[in-house]
């Protein structure tokens, strides 16, 4: 990710609702795969600044109903860095207009979470130019993971007991999620 912005796919913001922003782009490789990045505000008290940063494939069923699948395995394998660059470029676009917000980022399965952290670790220098990155650790968190629904905590998370640390690639295995804030010079 030498150049985060110029090495991203072209994207379009398709919804700028204060509770959820959406960006669309097309992954180009062996297949043309439409993708959506969704930045959704958490509704829980105490998380007023926080938004979830998620993305997945757009599909349209036989009735014309659109859905987004973060569980899809239908991806171009050779453009994963460019997809990740696009996700972070859209995050930068969102945070430039909502500079006091904090984005949380995590994989919906253990394998994807590990893959996302590997992508972040491999490209940390270019991402750190724009973002303050922290790892969130939730002590004693028990996760339930299924093939159909991905991973979910088996209890309510007490947000006051989350340990936030400046992101360290050597400790990334400990992070339950990662947060991104825009640096002051980009506000």
Burial status of residue 88 (CB atoms within 10 A of its CB: 0-12, 13-18, 19 or more): buried
Give CA angle at 17 (62, 183), nearest 5°.
Answer: 120
Nearest Cα residue to 53 out of 40, 68, 71, 35:
40
Q: Kindly report, residue by residue over 45-66, the tens digit of the pLDDT.
A: 888 999 999 998 998 788 878 7
Q: What is the mean pLDDT of the chain?
A: 86
Q: Kindly report, residue by residue over 2-14, the tens digit of the pLDDT.
A: 588 888 999 999 9
Whole-angstrom distance, CA of residue 177 vs CA of residue 163: 11
Res. 134: pLDDT tops 90: yes
Q: Write down the residue that tokens 């400790």 correspond to.
A: 171
All structural domains of the chain with their residue ranges: 12-186
Nearest Cα residue to 69 out of 80, 77, 60:
60
Res. 158: pLDDT tops 90: no
Q: Kindly report, residue by residue over 22-36, the tens digit of the pLDDT.
A: 999 999 988 899 999
Question: What is the reported pTM?
Answer: 0.88
Query: In 43-126, at which residue ranges do the beta strands (DSSP E only) sit?
Result: 50-60, 66-69, 102-105
Whole-angstrom distance, CA of residue 176 vs CA of residue 169: 13
Res. 121: pLDDT tops 60: yes
175-187 as b/e: b if 16+ CB within 10 A = bbbbbbbbeeeee
Give CA angle at 57 (43, 29), nearest 5°.
Answer: 145
Average pLDDT over residues 136-147: 71
Dihedral sign for Cα atoms in the order 34, 98, 130, 157: negative
């Amino acid at each position: 990710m030498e150049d985060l912005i110029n090495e991203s796919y072209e994207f379009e913001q398709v919804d700028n609702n204060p509770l959820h922003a959406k960006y669309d782009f097309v992954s180009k490789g062996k297949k043309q795969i439409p993708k959506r990045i969704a930045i959704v505000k958490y509704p829980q008290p105490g998380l007023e600044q926080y938004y979830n940063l998620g993305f997945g494939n757009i599909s349209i069923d036989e009735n014309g109903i659109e859905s987004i699948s973060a569980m899809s395995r239908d991806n171009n394998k050779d453009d994963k860095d460019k997809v990740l660059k696009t996700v972070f470029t859209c995050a930068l676009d969102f945070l430039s207009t909502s500079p006091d917000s904090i984005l949380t980022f995590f994989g919906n399965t253990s394998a994807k979470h590990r893959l996302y952290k590997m992508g972040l670790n491999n490209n940390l220098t270019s991402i750190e130019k724009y973002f303050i990155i922290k790892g969130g650790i939730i002590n004693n968190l028990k996760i339930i993971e299924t093939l159909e629904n991905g991973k979910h905590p088996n209890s309510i998370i007490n947000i006051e007991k989350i340990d936030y640390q400046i992101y360290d690639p050597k400790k990334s295995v400990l992070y339950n999620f990662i947060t991104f804030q825009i640096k002051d010079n980009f506000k």
